[in-house]
Amino acid sequence: MGGGELKYVNEAFAENWIAPLGPNVNGLEADIQSYAGVKNAAALSSGTGAIHLALDILGVGEGDYVLVQSFTFCASVNPIEYLGAKPVFIDSEQDSWNMCPEVLEEALQHFEAEGKLYRVKAIIPVHLYGVPARMNEIMSLAEKYSIPVVEDAAESLGATLNGKHTGTFGEFGVYSFNGNKIITTSGGGALISNDSSKIQLARKLATQARDDAPHYQHSMIGYNYRMSNICAGIGRGQMEVLDERIQQRRANFERYLKIFQELGWEIEYQNERYGVFANRWLSAFYFNPDVFGSNFREELRLFLDSLNIESRPLWKPMHLQPVYDGCQYFGKRNNAERIFDFGLCLPSGSNLTLEEWERIEKALTEFSKR
Ligand SMILES: *Cc1c(COP(=O)(O)O)cnc(C)c1O
């Protein structure tokens, strides 16, 4: 926490406003809008709920397809199944580790050739680990084939592409304020869009789709997805420290690069090319097996673990998940699979202490001498 959160939470208690909706919810929405430069934001109970609402509003349903990045967390994909549609997985490209525009085009051409393009209802690129996907290329394809884009920016709040915030390129953008993200409301998310009527509809659907009547009347199926006024209070305080958190996370990343340089390790990572500004939510690195050998990553992970330093493999691609067995996958080069096999996420907290850094640096140095 940054310090300002308690002020907003205390206000909610003082006003006895302990409910979904309320002044903090409106305040947080206004904060998100001005920060990201987007016309509308709806504060919700989770990022997953935000993706679900976006796809619902786009009319995704039984028998439809949604093209989604395979290299991601399951929450990018599960809402497709909630709606009875099928995910079609797209491989990543080497620079950003995100949706490969070339492979996306192949998939679109495939559906066009089969006469099933009308069944493709959305494209979901993900800005993984806070690094923007190739949105210019993805948006031109989306426009060419007239398919709306839902950007999963759950991990990339504050990351920009040529100065434009991730989440603001597509029809919809999704942020997450889950406990593990760069800032948090303990649990929560937001759906953003420049289309006011779509966000109005999202707010309605998120509150059980109640019609405008004195009694409870419903003409649509809704959800209970609104953020509480307490959580939003935490969020308002967190927004005040977001830029500081981004600086801390970016400093972590730079520090690892410096350590690797000193050790002579030629590490690969998501590059900040093409006008990219990453928030570096997590410090994730790729240990090329041609350079390090194929056991290096796992041996390093286990070595760190033996010193009580937690590191983790990267997201396991969705086309390799048992639950998505049999789903369609496009990707000739299998980049996502390779990044999963040889990538590692190192300690990335905003609050790593000097002492913890010394332990990490010592451990990496020791490992390099083995
Ligand atoms: C965290 C996350 C989500 C889901 O957000 P929640 O708020 O946890 O529901 C979606 N996509 C990605 C890539 C995430 O990392």
DSSP letters for 84-144: T-EEEEE-B-TTTSSB-HHHHHHHHHHHHHTT-GGGEEEEE-B-GGG----HHHHHHHHHH
> Is the C-beta atom of 53 inside 6 A of ligand 1?
no
Question: Does the structure show a pLDDT above 90 at 274?
Answer: no
pLDDT in tens, 299-320: 999 999 999 999 999 999 999 9
Question: Does the structure show a pLDDT above 90 at 147?
Answer: yes
Q: Which of 196, 198, 138 is nearest to 169 (CA)?
A: 138
Quick one: tokens of 239?
């927004």
User: Which three-class secondary structure state does DSSP give residue 277?
Assistant: strand
Question: Does the structure show a pLDDT above 90 at 331?
Answer: yes
Residue 59: how many other CB atoms lie within 10 Å: 11
pLDDT range class, residue 206, cuts 50, 70, 90:
very high
Q: Which of 122, 114, 158, 152 is nearest to 281 (CA)?
A: 158
Out of 179, 209, 239, a domain closes at 239
Same structural domain for residues 22 and 120? yes
**Residues 47 and 176 sit within 8 Å (Cβ to Cβ):** yes
> Is the C-beta atom of 79 inside 6 A of ligand 1?
no
- The closest-lying atom of ligand 1 relative to the alpha carbon of residue 128 is 13
Total domains, the chain: 2
Q: Best substitution site from 152, 175, 191, 270 to test ligand 1's pocket, by max atoms within 8 Å of Cβ?
A: 152
Out of 215, 239, 263, a domain closes at 239
Which pLDDT does position 226 carry in this prediction?
A: 97
pLDDT range class, residue 332, cuts 50, 70, 90:
confident
Which pLDDT does position 258 carry in this prediction?
A: 98
* 172, containing H or E segment: strand 172-176
Q: Which of 15-24, 51-60, 265-274 has the lowest mean pLDDT?
A: 15-24
Give 30's DSSP letter.
H
How many whole angstroms separate alpha carbon 263 and alpha carbon 141?
Answer: 42
Which pLDDT does position 102 carry in this prediction?
A: 98
Q: Best substitution site from 48, 185, 281 to test ligand 1's pocket, by max atoms within 8 Å of Cβ?
A: 48
Separation of 176 CA from ligand 1 center, angstroms? 6
Question: Does the structure show a pLDDT above 90 at 38?
Answer: yes
Quick one: tokens of 186?
């303990």
How many whole angstroms separate alpha carbon 367 and alpha carbon 85?
Answer: 47
- The closest-lying atom of ligand 1 relative to the alpha carbon of residue 75 is 10
Same structural domain for residues 146 and 264? no
Amino acid found at 33: Q
Which pLDDT does position 3 carry in this prediction?
A: 82
Quick one: tokens of 51?
């993706």
How many whole angstroms separate alpha carbon 51 and alpha carbon 113?
Answer: 28
DSSP-derived secondary structure for 144-167: HTT--BEEE-TT-TT-EETTEETT
**Residues 134 and 101 sit within 8 Å (Cβ to Cβ):** yes
Question: Does the structure show a pLDDT above 90 at 280?
Answer: yes
pLDDT in tens, 50-99: 999 999 999 999 999 999 999 999 999 999 999 999 999 999 999 999 99
Out of 193, 211, 239, a domain closes at 239
- For all residues of the chain together, what is the average pLDDT? 97
Which range marks the domain in which residue 321 is found?
242-369
How many whole angstroms separate alpha carbon 42 and alpha carbon 24?
Answer: 12
Same structural domain for residues 224 and 276? no
pLDDT range class, residue 209, cuts 50, 70, 90:
very high
Domain CATH code at residue 123:
3.40.640.10
- The closest-lying atom of ligand 1 relative to the alpha carbon of residue 50 is 9
Q: Which residue has the tokens 């509003």?
A: 57
pLDDT range class, residue 215, cuts 50, 70, 90:
very high
> Is the C-beta atom of 279 inside 6 A of ligand 1?
no
Same structural domain for residues 206 and 291? no
Domain CATH code at residue 257:
3.90.1150.10
How many whole angstroms separate alpha carbon 310 and alpha carbon 324?
Answer: 28
Same structural domain for residues 146 and 288? no
Same structural domain for residues 207 and 266? no
Same structural domain for residues 260 and 234? no
How many whole angstroms separate alpha carbon 43 and alpha carbon 225?
Answer: 9
Same structural domain for residues 206 and 100? yes
pLDDT range class, residue 341, cuts 50, 70, 90:
very high
Q: Which of 231, 242, 159 is nearest to 190 (CA)?
A: 231
Separation of 178 CA from ligand 1 center, angstroms? 7
* Nearby residues of 181 by Cβ (< 8 Å), 6 or more positions away: 154, 155, 157, 281
**Residues 142 and 88 sit within 8 Å (Cβ to Cβ):** no
Q: Once rounded to an integer, what is the mean pLDDT over residues 162-191? A: 97
Same structural domain for residues 275 and 140? no
How many whole angstroms separate alpha carbon 126 and alpha carbon 153?
Answer: 6
Q: Which residue has the tokens 């350590």?
A: 259
Which pLDDT does position 19 carry in this prediction?
A: 79
Same structural domain for residues 36 and 86? yes
How many whole angstroms separate alpha carbon 17 and alpha carbon 296?
Answer: 53
Same structural domain for residues 180 and 307? no
Question: Does the structure show a pLDDT above 90 at 146?
Answer: yes
* Nearby residues of 78 by Cβ (< 8 Å), 6 or more positions away: 48
Q: Which of 52, 51, 55, 32 is nearest to 43 (CA)?
A: 32
Q: Once rounded to an integer, what is the mean pLDDT over residues 334-363? A: 97
Strands 160-161 and 164-165, by their bridges, are antiparallel
pLDDT range class, residue 295, cuts 50, 70, 90:
very high
User: Which three-class secondary structure state does DSSP give residue 273?
Assistant: coil
Which pLDDT does position 77 carry in this prediction?
A: 98
Same structural domain for residues 204 and 349? no
How many whole angstroms separate alpha carbon 191 and alpha carbon 351?
Answer: 28
Which pLDDT does position 281 carry in this prediction?
A: 98
